[in-house]
Structure 1
Amino acid sequence: MDILRAGMALVSGVRQEIQYGNCTKRETVLNEREFKFAQTMIFAIHEINKNPGLLPRHTIGYKIYNACGMSNIVMSAIVLANGQKEQLDGTCSGPGSATAVLGHSGSAPTMAFARVIGRFQVPVVSHFATCACLSDREEFPSFFRTIPSDEHQSRALAKLVKHFGWMWVGAISNLNAYGVNGINAFIQAAVEEGVCIEYYEAFEQSGPASALDKVVETVKRSTSKVIVAFMSHREVTVLAAELYKNNITSLQWVGSDAWISDSSLSDSEGSSILVGSLGFVVSKANIPGLEDHLRQLHPSQFPNSQFIREFWEYIFECSLANSTNTEMKACTGIESLQNVDTYFTDVSDLRFVNNVYKSVYAVAHALHALISERRNSSSNNNQPIESWQVLQYLQKVDFMTSQGERVTFDENGNIFAQYELINIQSMASSIMHTTTVGFYDPTLPHDHQVQMTKFKLHNSVNQVPVSVCSDSCPPGQRKVIYKTKPVCCFDCIPCGEAEISNATDSLDCFTCPSEYWPNANQDRCVLKDTEFLSFSEIMGIVLTCFCFIGTFLTLLIFAVFLRYRHSPIVRANNSELSFLLLFSLSLCFLCSLTFIGRPSEWSCMLRHTAFSITFVLCISCVLWKTIVVLMAFRATLPGSNVMKWFGPVQQRLSVFGATFIQVLICILWLTIDPPFPNRNMLYFKDIIILECNLGSHVGFCAALGYIGLLALLCFVLAFFARKLPDNFNEAKFITFSMLIFCAVWITFIPAYVSSPGKFTVAVEIFAILSSSYGLLLCIFVPKVFIILFQSEKNTKRHIMGKTQKDIHY
């Protein structure tokens, strides 16, 4: 088996300084998470070396560099770049043997050394550096990562706050590249989603206390109920503690992956205010065999490893042989991790550890592709593997892990973005319980990229808090946005009279279609009520009853006159014209029925023409009755022969002639521009009046004017004949009936014009019925009363009175 003259170097902050000084000082503690990352890399390399299908006959080695301070990071980069032999732990030796670098966990440290060794085309694969700035291929030409960029996380966080309707949030970050770039990306994505940022503050744990005080004061004065914290666990720890001291505990936290799953938060003061926090992290995975590897770790396996020595003394609180720490008891040698439960041995929540695992395999697959191509070509297989060659093949890797995850990089070295949404359920001493409550998948449709299940929030009633600058405008109102305020701060005003808005927070109201009208809440358009005089309503029923009563009275009088047609009073009143008048009056009563009910094409044409013709027939009969009365008394003069021109034939011809003129007017009216049903939406805004449009107004005026002309002529003649000397003066009753007729129709005109909707039709029916009743009661009722109740006056002698002449007309 050949040892590859290529290996991996892990740049890791296994040690962390307490005061951020020089890492060679003893004021440093072991970072358990980073040490776990390092051991995961070793486990993956051992697994690959045992795999006959991946890099057969080759073995991968590694180096581990501690880089807890920025100076150490740059020094590690220089060591890697010039092939020096300084490292703290490893299985590779010889200058320039590391052809790929894994790490660092932080974005800022990664930027520091990736900028240096990238110029030497040494590939850098990070498992935790998420700053979007690292995707800049010009500045970081050899950088890859197995964790999604913060650009995706920021967009996911923006969609998360939008999902909950938190349109008014505060943003806090630390002052390094990770925090500033991440929160700026979040703010940009939030603005695109319509979310407003009330404030943005930044501070560093190691910065001045005044910066932290400013952040706390800003949060205290704010009205938003949600904090989006894009920072590391160190800043969250001090911020949560300070807010807890100031009793600012009712806020909903939304966190970045750098702290949302960090169990060290549970040891900090004020950690209880973080319960209910939500944040996105990379998907959890299961790595078979890793737990056994971690629990089998023993200092005897790596006698020269400073990391393992410090880790062992940290876990078991004892000192190993040759230890410089003399304050602790000596280790017994029987210590074992098999029965120790710590963060290091816990494999129940492998997220970022899995990224380390994928990073190692990505480099291994690149090396495998490179060696396979060399084997299949004529090139010299004994040539050393150069870092620039690994870089080329790393860009092309595309494989599936044993957990079914696909690993491939885009042109900027980024991996496919997919997150799990986790919720901090509880905090206890050294224990933080989190639960996966959803996920984010950018490949799904826009509105379904964030998927949620049941979760726990900070408040005791577990209700989603409301964090808005202004309450949403309900349907029926619209937003008024001011230029001097954020778009989330607005006023709500009702829509206009004929407008609606059917969505929450509508920017505009829109007008309903012409046949629709807003409902009471102005949130939807409903069909306008249609109005017409129907047979089913009270007014229609009353008018119909009066119509039938008038018709019944007319027929009753007709029957009385027919029964007593040979009596003097019937004969004296020109029985033929009387029967014709009664017939026309019955038609007048019945024609009013055509005005009731839903207008149709036929009813509109019938109602006005029937009314015009029947009334002309009626007035013509009255007119000729009046003329005959006048001529009859004139015929009593000596030598007068005028009655021969006013006999029954002449009377019939005159009545039908006058009526025929009205028939011609109506025929012309119906031919040129007939009445038609119309939906009048101008008179009322919220009601459609179903009416009959007159069509030709000239035709209507001609028909109505002709009736008025005949009525006026009849009234004048009857007025002149009102004092004719007889005991039963027909002219007096005709004068009175025509006075009623003219009064009704003169008052009808202004009432007709001013009446709205169905009342217009009611006024017209009332005028028809009133004038018809006036003619019926004034002309015929007195005669019927004499016929039925004063039969002694129904004699020729009584009717002749002083004239002493038998008049037949």
Structure 2
Amino acid sequence: MFYLDGTNDLADEIEGVFVRISQLNQNTSLIHPNATIVPTLLNNHGSKAQLIPQALDMALDGEIFIFGSGYSSMSIISSLILQNYQIPMCCGSSTNPTLGQKALYPNFFRTIPNDNAATLTMAQYLAFNGWHKIATINTDEDYGNGAISSFLNYASQYNITVLSRQLVETNVDANAANQIAQQIISAEARIIVYFGFAAEYEVIVQQATLAGCYGAGYFWIGTDGLQQMVPTTAYAGTSYLFPLERADGPVSDAFDAYWKANRLGVGNPGANVSSINSSGPFGYFHSSCVDLALLGFDALVKANGNNVTKLANGELNSQMQVPQSFNFPNHDTTTGRISLDQNGDRSGDYAIMNVQADASLVQVSKWSNGAEYQIQPYYYPGGASYKPADAIDPTTVADYLQTSGDGLGILAIILFFVGAVTSIASLVGIVLYRNRPMIRASDVFVGFAMQFCIFVTWFDLLTMLNKPTNTTCTVDSIIIPITFSVYYGLMFIKNYRIYTIFTRPRSRILKTHETIIGGIIFGIPPAIIIAIWNAKDAPKPAAITVMKGVYAWTCSSTSTSLQSVMVTLLSVYCAIILAMNLYIAFQTRNIPSKYSETRVITLAIYNTTIITLFAISILLSEGLGFRLKAAIKMIAVFYLLFFNLVSSFSLKVVHCVQDNVLSTKSGSKSTHSITNPSMEAISVKEKDAKKGKAGTPVILRKPGLFSESKPRMMHSETPEFVSFCRFTKLTLEDEAASKRGDGECWKLPNLKEFKVEKVSDLTRRYYLDKDQFEVTYENEDDAKSWDNYFHPWTNAHIAKTMLGEGK
């Protein structure tokens, strides 16, 4: 009998046959006491051209059994030739599924599972570990192409999706291998399955390591083609499936012992090219071929009257049926008990081999009957100790703003505290100066409600921090829609009330509580939409793809269509409120000359519209990273809130504080202070009122954002003193205050600094201390009359006080 392939890289298989035959020849009970099996090696050096004539020579020489060939492509040729001479073949390394087609290869059987069994096991193994998204690489030759074809048939049965399929040429170079690595990265695959041989695999791994896809978070596994790989630290973490070649038991133990003791002394042709101290895996499988062949011969000889001569002469070959004559499922071989199916294929268990950190190759688990039994821990690429997820698990890599060590997260915290502290300071100031005309003009309690909306919205900055939770997702869905609706609802009603006062003087003016209730009503529709949204499919934490390879945490409903509908409804509603404010702001465009509060409101509305449109257009654009979008949202929210807070409330408080300071300084430095400013002021008011001079109508306008409407300038009959006073008429309360004469006044008995500048025939600019006013008179006579009144006071000193102060 001959072993066909004798190339040096098949020394393992050659030794398996020769050592096992030598060992069994010692067993006199096998076949016949006087029979000796004599193996002969015919070396074709892996050449198909040499194989064909050698196979014919063997057939003509009357050989009765062939062990081989080592490669599937060679076994196919051998079987096609030798089947014509009824010569059986057994191989322990040819795995091509084609050889299992009994109609084409009736004389062939094998002791190693075919590639279909290996690829089926691979599909089962991947599904068992929860890996359903993978990348595949296969070599472009019979083994690789056959294996990938078989695997893809099974993959669909186990719900496995191939994200990337790469074909590698034999003798692949570094550039081609790098392209394969880049394709894996582009496909975002984490589990890479290889069907091919070690030479190409080693080049690919080198480039994959450089590209970053052979490392922590990845898992590379192949089939038995990688058995030829020489383990090194460069391949630490590589795993491959291999048929479980060594059975635990006395047969395998005895074979190992005999191998070590007799490998060099049994006429072993592989001894000169092998330095291994025990049989390799393919040596085990080929030794099992020897077991089955000799068991078959023994049964055949016994069935023919123990006539060994007939067997040796080939006279019994016609009685050999493959695989029936060589199927002994209850007999222990070196690789365990072997059960052959009708095609001569073996079904068996698999070992999962793994290259450890120290480059040792160990069996980490066993695959049997659809389940994995772990023996020791895997070593994963990059030294990771955890089992990677298939593809990329967004939950493990998704970005989010952190509260420490994250500049953007720290910025969110800083902006929150700046905004919250400013809100609180502004609110305290409004309370302290609630009786000042500048504060009362904007309606104190309506201002409280609007500031509360701003204060609550600051907390939306905090919802951007850390991984979202169900609670933060719910809060985030509530805050901005409702506070926006209430705030700008109040602003609309407030501006409409101003519009009514100055365009329809006899119309009924909305009272404070009616304004606040109206603002709350504006917040009811979004509250209903949000309640329905949360009841049906509340937003929950989700890791989403921001762009290719970039993931971030956000809040999202399970149903994207429902979320789109709800977000659209809320956006449209808020847009309607904003449009209403724009309309009323346009209607009140001429009022700021009479009442500056409309200027503040209009500026806030225009600013909100521009910034909102700008921010939304940027946030909806593709290609922006998570952090850039987060920064834009954060800055837009802060800017809008801070601008509204400062322009509508905080600056008024600052003006009141400055006026207080100036009043205190002026009073303390005056050399001629007024002993009873309240009584003096009242007497002036009464005296002038009787003479009709207290109500001299002029347009007195203080340059700046917060001048008030309809001020009047009061003076006495003689230039005893003159007072600049502002009286407002906005709400019922302010109108009553105006009638009482309450207001902010500058009195001129002792000018500290007073200048008059003629702007035009009717307009004068008056400089009082650090303040200034522009006065437009109705006619030139009034202007000249007032010039005469003011002339004695030019460059004099005054003390600033308040009418009604000290009561």
TM-score bin, normalised by smaller chain? 0.3 to 0.5
Higher alpha-carbon Rg: 1
Alignment TM-score, normalising by the size of structure 1: 0.45
Alignment TM-score, normalising by the size of structure 2: 0.45
**More helix by percentage:** 2
